Structure 1
Amino acid sequence: MNLERTFPPHPLENLPKAPAELTVTSEDFEDGSPLPETAGFGFGNTSPQLSWSGAPEGTRSYLLVCHDPDAPVLGGFRHWAVAGIPAEVTSLRAGAGEFGQPVGEGATTLANDYGTRDYGGCAPPQGDPAHRYVFTVWALDAADTGVDAQTSVAKAQFSTLGNVLARGSITGTYQL
C-alpha cells in the first residue's frame, strides 16, 4: 500500500481566468515557503502580513480568502475571508485577522470553517505533510456586492464572479 500523499491541483486552476493579475506579497513569508509558526492554531493564531498591487482602474473593493486545499475534508478548509475591503487598502498588517480588528471601513469578516469571524490558524493533522495555505485577493469593480456577515465564503466568491477585475495569490506552507 502506497501511503505517499499527492496533492490536488492548485485551487486557482479551477477558477475562471481573471482579466488581470494582482501581485500578492508578504513580509512574513515568500511564495511557496513556510508560514511563521505564529500562523498556527494554538501558536499565536496570527494572520501574516499581506500586500497586493496591480489593481486595475475601476477597482472599488477587494475580497480576501485564505484556503487550505489539502485539509482532509471535501473542498478544503477556509481559514479566513474578508469581503468589501476598500480599494485604498492594499496591505494588512500581521495580526489583522484577529477577531474585531478593522481591515477597512465597510469590510466584513466572514465566518471561516471554524465558525468564527477571524483568521483561524493553520492546523494540519499531526504527521501530515505540509499543507498549502493559499491567500487569494480579488480586485472587484463594486464596493457593495451584496455580501454581508451572514454570507458563506463560497457564496461570496460565487456572487462576486461577475465583478472580478483581477486576482492574485501567495501560498505559504505549514506542518506540525
Structure 2
Amino acid sequence: MPLTLTSPVFAEGETIPTKYARDGENLMPPLKWTGIPGGTQSFVLIVEDPDAPKGIFRHCAVYNIPADREGLPESIDTSRDNALSYAINDFGNAHYDGPEPPIGDDPHHYHFRLAALDVPRLAIPAKAGAQQIWHEARKHVIEEAELVGIYQR
C-alpha cells in the first residue's frame, strides 16, 4: 500500500476551511498518514503554495517526526507537549502559518507534502529555513505523499 496523506477537515482538491488560514484561527490542520514504507526512520512535512505571486511560498516545515507517528493533531505546532522540530517558514516564523493569498487572486493550491526518510534525524542547523529542510530531506526520501487543498480570499 502506498504512503497516503489525508486530513479529516478537507479532502484532496477541496477548500481548506478558514479556521486553518491566517485570516482565520491560523491552526495547523490535523493530518493522518497510512502505508508507512519499510525502513522509515522519520518523516518530514512541508506546506507550500506554488501559486504565490513571487513563486513557491513555504508555510511550514516540520522535521524529525518520529517513525511511529501516524499523523499530527490539529495545531500540533502550538502544543505544549510538542517535541517536533520546525523550520523557519517564508513568513519568518518557526511554526505553521496558514493560507493567505492576495485578495482577489484565483484560488491558490496548498501542497501538504509528507516524506518518509531513511534517517532518524536530519542534522540541520537551528533557524534553518523550510527550503533548506526540504532540500536536505530529499537526500533521504523513501517515499512521498501529497495532499492538495485550495484557498481563496
Task: Give yes or no for TM over 0.5.
Answer: yes
More strand by share: 2
Deviation of 1:161 after TM superposition, in Å, equals: 2.0
Task: From 167, 172, 176, give the equivalent of 2:144.
Answer: 167
Q: Larger Cα Rg: Structure 1 or Structure 2?
A: 1
Which range is displaced more, 128-137 or 93-102? Answer: 93-102
Task: From 24, 27, 52, give the equivalent of 1:43.
Answer: 24
Matched, 1:81 2:58: no
Deviations 1:29-88 (A, max 9, x none): 0000000111111310011110111121110100000001101113x1111110100001
State the one-letter code of the partner of 1:146.
A
Unaligned runs of 5+ in 2: none
Distance across 2 between alignment mates of 1:62 and 1:92? 11
Matched, 1:128 2:108: no
Deviation of 1:153 after TM superposition, in Å, equals: 1.6
Alignment correspondent of 1:10 = none
TM-score by length of 1: 0.81
Distance across 2 between alignment mates of 1:119 and 1:131? 17
Unaligned runs of 5+ in 1: 1-19
Task: From 115, 128, 135, give the equivalent of 1:138.
Answer: 115
After superposition, the Cα gap between the structure-2 partners of 1:86 and 1:174, relative to the gap in structure 1 and judged at 3 Å, is: same
Task: From 61, 65, 69, give the equivalent of 2:46.
Answer: 65
Number of matched pairs = 153
Distance across 1 between alignment mates of 2:107 and 2:50? 11
Deviation of 1:101 after TM superposition, in Å, equals: 6.0
Distance across 2 between alignment mates of 1:101 and 1:117? 16
Matched, 1:25 2:25: no
Task: From 88, 91, 99, give the equivalent of 1:114.
Answer: 91
Q: Secondary structure at the match of 1:84?
A: strand
2:86–2:94: 8 Å Cα contact kept in structure 1? yes
Q: Secondary structure at the match of 1:165?
A: strand
State the one-letter code of the partner of 2:54.
V
Percent identity, please: 33
Deviation of 1:148 after TM superposition, in Å, equals: 4.0
After superposition, the Cα gap between the structure-2 partners of 1:96 and 1:48, relative to the gap in structure 1 and judged at 3 Å, is: same
Deviations 1:104-123 (A, max 9, x none): x4x31111111011111210
